[in-house]
Amino acid sequence: MNKKPKKKWLLILLLLLLPIILVVILLILLVGAAFISFAGSEDDSEMGDVVLSEFGENEIPSEYIPIYQRAGEEYNINWILLASIHRVETNFSTNLTDSSVGAKGHFQFMICTWLSWSYPACSSSVYGDADIPESVYTNPSIIAQYGGYGVDANGDEKASPQDLEDSVFTAAKMLSANMSSPNDYEGAIFAYNHADWYVNEVLSYFETYTDGYEPVDGKLVDIKGDKAWVVPFTKNITSEFGYRYDPHTGEAGDLHNGMDIAISGVAGKPAVAFMEGEVIYSQFNTGGFGYLVIIQHDNGMKTYYGHLKQQGISVGTKVKAGQTIGYIGSTGNSTGAHLHFEIRINDKPVNPRLYLQEWLGDSE
Ligand SMILES: [Zn+2]
């Protein structure tokens, strides 16, 4: 009499508890699966192992990041690449004036690229700056009709290059349309602006905004500790620091305040920052340096990069070792493409070799 009801109660209790136990197990499994798929999606994304560097974190305005990320997801483009283009085009929208050829807005789009080169007024335009009313080139249905890139991303029924969100999405759409393979960044950037220097500049920002350095023109940036070799393309020294002696009389001539680095094919190749610092000068120097960049480092050190092909990286830019600061040229008092590299300590030129021993050894 006693035993039977006891067993029955146990059975009922078990039956009651069973669904609760099952639900708990199911929940644990679900949470686990969600966690795994979340972690997995980070790994599987287009970004792969490319992550934002500390430098990128400092420089890319945080309010723009969610917009880059949404556009990047929509068109399968690495969002840091969008940030890099934004940096090069308008320095993160701090300079929104039309370009000399009429490029407009946050990402400096030509109207015909935005609206479509098959729009009648564009087919005869050289630069794509055809005189087309804003009401036409921002009209999503006209853009769609002619197959242009312009996107109305913020849903205000206008696709406008003057709207940041629309610009970011349009840039992502255009990059995506011009990639011949998932990692063909060069091809996509070149389609954006048909110039090698432009591609190099965007990629150099992309590299500094991401961890790890990528090859520059097929050559790795050579970094040792906190310093980088300044011409990734070559380590060939054509002229040392010091007095240049007259080959006939043996008399000392002019003092050469720096070191010249050059080799055949170096023209147009990147020059990179020796160390972390801030650009304090970047313009044409009439004293003979031609296009010159000067970087201020800690401890009274300045580095000079002379004879650049064109104006280098902007004054005020915080650079890190190995970041492209300009391209090698022959401007100013120069007879052939080379980098004139100087190191000054408290404004006094010193022999750069003292700081380049890791690469060049002790003697000439
Ligand atoms: Zn020199």
Distance of CA 20 to the CA centre of its chain: 54
Give average pLDDT by consecutive 10-residue segment, the chain, 364 residues. 63 75 72 50 42 78 96 93 93 88 91 92 77 93 95 96 97 93 84 83 82 50 86 91 76 86 88 94 96 96 96 88 89 95 97 92 66
Task: Name the class of domain 54-217.
Answer: mainly alpha
* Whole-Å CA distances, 136 to 111, 152, 156, 167, 363: 10, 14, 15, 16, 67
Distance of CA 49 to the CA centre of its chain: 16
Dig out the tokens for 202 from the structure: 């965007």
* Whole-Å CA distances, 215 to 42, 86, 184, 324, 353: 25, 22, 14, 12, 25
In whole angstroms, give the CA distance from residue 150 to residue 174. 9
pLDDT score of 288: 94
Measured in Å, residue 351 CA sits from the centre of ligand 1 at: 12
Contact indicator for 158, 152 with CB cutoff of 8 Å: yes
Identical fold at 54-217 and 227-360? no
pTM of the model: 0.52
SS3 272: strand
Measured in Å, residue 276 CA sits from the centre of ligand 1 at: 22
In whole angstroms, give the CA distance from residue 307 to residue 293. 9
Measured in Å, residue 198 CA sits from the centre of ligand 1 at: 27
Measured in Å, residue 221 CA sits from the centre of ligand 1 at: 22
Contact indicator for 328, 306 with CB cutoff of 8 Å: no
In whole angstroms, give the CA distance from residue 46 to residue 194. 25
Q: Where are the beta strands (DSSP E) in 268-314?
A: 270-272, 277-285, 290-296, 301-308
Q: Read off the pLDDT of residues 70-129 as tens digits, 9 standing for 90 and up.
A: 999 999 999 999 999 999 899 899 888 888 878 899 999 999 999 999 998 888 777 677
* Whole-Å CA distances, 129 to 102, 199, 290: 6, 22, 32
* Whole-Å CA distances, 321 to 224, 226, 274, 337: 10, 7, 5, 23
The domain spans of the chain are: 54-217, 227-360
Measured in Å, residue 317 CA sits from the centre of ligand 1 at: 24
Residues that place a CB less than 5 A from ion ligand 1: 258, 260, 340
In whole angstroms, give the CA distance from residue 55 to residue 211. 9
Fold classification of 227-360 is: Glucose Permease (Domain IIA) (2.70.70)
| Length of the chain as a residue count | 364
**Which burial class, exposed, middle or buried, applies to 197 when counting CB atoms under 10 A from its CB (0-12, 13-18, 19+)?**
middle
In whole angstroms, give the CA distance from residue 191 to residue 168. 16
Measured in Å, residue 240 CA sits from the centre of ligand 1 at: 8
SS3 311: coil
pLDDT score of 49: 46
Contact indicator for 172, 153 with CB cutoff of 8 Å: no
In whole angstroms, give the CA distance from residue 86 to residue 68. 10
Contact indicator for 285, 301 with CB cutoff of 8 Å: no
82: nearest Cα among 248, 215, 205: 205
Crossing angle of helices 196-209 and 185-192, rounded to 10°: 130
SS3 205: helix
Measured in Å, residue 262 CA sits from the centre of ligand 1 at: 10
Measured in Å, residue 238 CA sits from the centre of ligand 1 at: 9
Distance of CA 96 to the CA centre of its chain: 19
Measured in Å, residue 341 CA sits from the centre of ligand 1 at: 7
